């Protein structure tokens, strides 16, 4: 499942990266902040959805994608659950090979210098762990928090740590 979600998330991110800019969400209403390696970053959520999975109707997918103002950073979180998606805590399942939570932090997405830090198990480190807490789901608004022990870029054998994440996103 992790492999399927890992392949799906970049495709969806590329699709929404090409969306018309007139649909942009005002940064003062919807936001995402977190610490990356101890330094605060702020992104603007531009896509958030909760919908039945297209190939497995018994599952529901949550997707949140945010980007920096200069479009050099794209951060996506995908969660897949059995049944309905409700407020609660969602996390990777350590040592199970099951990844209901996938996170990707892209630098320069789609460029030759692209970097993709994702939930993975880096050599010599404990298994990657990413946790998302959905605190509220309203008609058109989703709020939550997130953190991880690290996200790993396998191509460069480097990792980043994301902590103290919080978001308020418009649900499409």
CA distance linking residue 69 with residue 91, whole number of Å = 28
pLDDT score of 75 = 98
pLDDT digits (tens, 9 = 90+) for 97-120: 667 899 999 999 999 999 999 998
pLDDT score of 97 = 63
Nearest residue to 24 (alpha-carbon basis) of 78, 62, 65? 65
Residues 6+ positions from 5 with CB-CB distance below 8 Å: 78, 80, 99, 102
Q: What rounded mean pLDDT belongs to the chain? A: 86
pLDDT digits (tens, 9 = 90+) for 137-160: 998 999 999 999 999 999 999 999
CA distance linking residue 164 with residue 61, whole number of Å = 23
What SS3 state is found at 170? Answer: strand
Whether residue 55 contacts residue 133, with contact meaning beta carbons closer than 8 Å, is answered with no
- Within 18-169, residue ranges assigned H as helices are none
Neighbours of 172 (CB within 10 A): 14
pLDDT score of 149 = 94
Residue 88 banded pLDDT, cuts 50, 70, 90: very high
Check whether 90 has a pLDDT greater than 50: yes
CA distance linking residue 165 with residue 36, whole number of Å = 9
pLDDT digits (tens, 9 = 90+) for 45-70: 999 999 999 999 899 999 999 999 99
CA distance linking residue 145 with residue 131, whole number of Å = 8
Tell me, rounded to whole angstroms, the distance of Cα 90 from its chain centroid: 12
CA distance linking residue 6 with residue 118, whole number of Å = 8
pLDDT digits (tens, 9 = 90+) for 3-13: 444 444 544 44
Check whether 2 has a pLDDT greater than 70: no
Check whether 16 has a pLDDT greater than 70: no
pLDDT score of 99 = 76
pLDDT score of 93 = 73
């Amino acid at each position: 499942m992790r492999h399927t979600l890992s392949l799906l998330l970049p495709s969806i991110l590329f699709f929404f990266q090409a969306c018309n800019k007139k649909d942009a969400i005002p940064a003062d209403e919807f936001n995402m902040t977190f610490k990356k390696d101890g330094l605060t970053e702020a992104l603007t959520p531009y896509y958030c959805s909760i919908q039945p999975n297209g190939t497995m109707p018994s599952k529901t997918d949550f997707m949140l994608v945010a980007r920096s103002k200069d479009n050099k950073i794209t951060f996506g979180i995908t969660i897949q659950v059995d049944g309905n998606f409700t407020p609660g805590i969602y996390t990777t399942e350590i040592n199970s090979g099951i990844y209901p939570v996938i996170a990707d932090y892209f630098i320069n997405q789609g460029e030759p210098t692209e970097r993709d830090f994702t939930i993975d198990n880096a050599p010599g480190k404990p298994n990657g762990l990413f946790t998302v807490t959905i605190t509220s789901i309203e008609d058109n608004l989703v709020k939550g928090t997130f953190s991880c022990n690290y996200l790993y870029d396998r191509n460069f054998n480097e990792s980043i740590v994301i902590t103290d994440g919080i978001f308020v996103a418009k649900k499409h």
